[in-house]
Amino acid sequence: MLAGLLMAVRPLTHRIEPETLFPQADKIMHIGFFIVLWLLALRAGFTSAWQLGLGLIGYGVCIEIAQALLPTHRSASLTDVAADATGIALAWWITRRAVSGSGRQPKEHRG
């Protein structure tokens, strides 16, 4: 999480940054980063999905506030928070399907 915060508040340069590789690259990075955070939290033993989701949304909001307050030529964005929430929702859906076995029965139980 600290690495994500440091990447989010680093000053922008005039070089090509990962966020500017193609349109919406920044949003895709937000989604991917929050999927990774969700999976790491589960791996660490976090079990409450709603608490994890709220905590990660709070983290995303804090990053946007930091970007607004620091003189790094970055700005806060509600669309970034929406991308964070999308990553969280996708991660929840992916892990939920994985736990439920994708709705399929094991081979030995098929008719």
Residue 95 in any domain: the answer is yes
Residue 106 in any domain: the answer is no
Residue 59 in any domain: the answer is yes
Residue position matching structure tokens 């349109």: 23
Number of helices followed by number of strands (H, E) in the chain: 4, 0
Can you give the pLDDT of all 111 residues of the chain as single tens digits? 777 777 776 766 666 666 666 778 889 999 999 999 999 999 999 989 999 999 999 999 999 998 888 887 777 899 999 999 999 999 999 998 887 775 554 444 444
Residue 67 in any domain: the answer is yes
Alpha-carbon torsion (90, 30, 25, 82), positive or negative: positive
Q: Residue 82, class by beta-carbon neighbours within 10 Å (0-12 exposed, 13-18 middle, 19+ buried)?
A: middle
Residue 68 in any domain: the answer is yes
Residue 105 in any domain: the answer is no
The number of domains in the chain is 1
- Residue 46 sits in which domain range? 31-100
Query: What pTM did the predictor assign?
Result: 0.76
Residue 94 in any domain: the answer is yes
Pairwise CA distance, residues 68 & 89, whole Å: 25
Residue 65 in any domain: the answer is yes
Between the two ends of the chain, the Cα-to-Cα distance in Å is: 47
Tokens for 111? 């008719």
